[in-house]
Amino acid sequence: MSGNERILATSKSYPRSALGETVEGIPTGRDVEWQPLVDYRRNGVSETTIHGAVAWASGGDIAHSFGGNVLCYGRSMMKPIMLKVFTDELEKVTSWEQRAISVASHNGGAEHVAAAQSLLPEEEWGLMQTPLDVPLVQFGRQVRRPRRWYNNSSGQHAAILLGCRLKGWNRAGYTLPHHVFFQAYLDRVRVVLGDSWQPKRVARDGDGFPTISMTVSELAKVYASLAADRHDDWIWEAMVRHPDLVGGFNRLDSTILKAGAGKVIAKEGADGLLGMAIEHPDYPNGLGVVVKIAHGWNPQATWYVARAILGTLGITLRNPYPLYKQKAFLVEGVVPPDRLDTLERVATWDDWDPDRDRWYYRWDRYAEENVGDERGRDPFAPGGQS
């Protein structure tokens, strides 16, 4: 038996098959029907189609679903819900900057590190179980060594450690699924999804905390609750006050927070997630919209979808910076049917961004005229000049 065969046959630390295992009740990406969301075309011909799922929820009901039954992990998109466990305790001892960094997936800039470090006295920094990391977005060559504070979740770790101390909870094992913090977090989710709700799977997230699986539609219901309960605690206001602490330079969630002018909070999550909680008169019970990209993190495609959704709600989000790609076209299903007329008027390009993937003349007409004509010759080719 080879080494690989022995690993597949005996180890509990590895999958048993390179094809993956089938678990009843847990569909894989091969089993679900992902929906097309964004279509990139070069002179009218589709070259790339980005698939995913979108769900709109309000007042505990699904207002619109486009593949929203897809099961995924909420990942960092759930940080605003996780920190609700400690909102009462942290409100008494934290600044608005500290509250914003507690729900952040930040870039690891100097301002992010400073805000995260301010949550704990230096003698407690050793309690941090944040994985070592480097800043998420940097300019120039990588020269920094990995540190816990550069991790995009360092503010969350520090805030949860502080919250556990204020509640009198043991801080040993604070990242483990049997810790009292995780159980309290599940109770917060059940306030929205029902007392009997149970995640089909609990996994270890990249930041060390447990992440729970739920459908995109369930995630949208959770985000709708953030809008409905926005005045109950400081989560909404902290994110609106300090959008650049939530993400950072050119991050989609930070840009949405600024564009929303207090009417929207947004949070990205790996892998390929965007959650938006929206205050809108058409949805008096709060609106939650979640976008999941099938192949994972794709901020440009997600940006186009977010711009389309917000545009139909009267909120203007700028287009992403041009990357000299083909033009992006949206699929109708990203919004409810009653918003399609508005969707057509949300352009995915600007007046300084013309088509660069075609010529602006009838090449076929000129080709016909040049057949058999000396004008069709290359004057620099042999015999091309008299």
- pLDDT tens profile 133-183: 999 865 555 667 899 999 999 999 999 999 999 999 999 999 999 999 999
Q: How far apart are CA 181 and CA 84, in angstroms?
A: 11
- pLDDT tens profile 29-63: 888 889 999 999 999 999 999 999 999 999 999 99
CATH of the domain at 228: 3.40.710
Q: What is the pLDDT of residue 20?
A: 84
Q: How far apart are CA 120 and CA 148, in angstroms?
A: 13
> Is 116 within a domain?
yes
DSSP 59-97: TTEEEEEESTT-EEE-GGGGHHHHGGGGHHHHHTT--HH
Q: How far apart are CA 173 and CA 143, in angstroms?
A: 32
pLDDT, greater one: 283 or 140: 283
Q: Name the pLDDT band for 380 (thresholds 50, 70, 90).
A: low
* Range(s) of the domain holding residue 143: 35-343
Average pLDDT over every residue of 220-245: 98
Number of domains, the chain: 1
> Is 282 within a domain?
yes
Q: In Å, how far are 83, 85, 120, 204, 212 from 183, measured between CA atoms?
A: 13, 10, 23, 15, 12
> Is 378 within a domain?
no
Q: Name the pLDDT band for 329 (thresholds 50, 70, 90).
A: very high
- pLDDT tens profile 296-306: 999 999 999 99
> Is 324 within a domain?
yes
pLDDT at residue 248 tops 90? yes
Q: What is the pLDDT of residue 242?
A: 98
Alpha-helical runs (H) found in 289-378: 299-312, 340-343, 363-370
Average pLDDT over every residue of 262-285: 97
Count CB-CB contacts under 10 A for residue 311: 19
pLDDT at residue 379 tops 90? no
Does residue 139 sit in helix, strand or coil? coil
pLDDT at residue 325 tops 50? yes
> Is 210 within a domain?
yes
Q: How far apart are CA 76 and CA 267, in angstroms?
A: 8
- pLDDT tens profile 85-141: 999 999 999 999 999 999 999 999 999 999 999 999 999 999 999 999 999 865 555
- pLDDT tens profile 190-218: 999 999 999 999 999 999 999 999 999 99
> Is 363 within a domain?
no
> Is 66 within a domain?
yes
Q: What is the pLDDT of residue 233?
A: 98
DSSP 333-356: GGS-GGGHHHHTTS-SS-TT----
> Is 223 within a domain?
yes
Q: Taking all residues of the chain, what is their mean pLDDT, rounded to a whole number?
A: 92
Q: What is the pLDDT of residue 386?
A: 46
Q: How far apart are CA 151 and CA 107, in angstroms?
A: 8
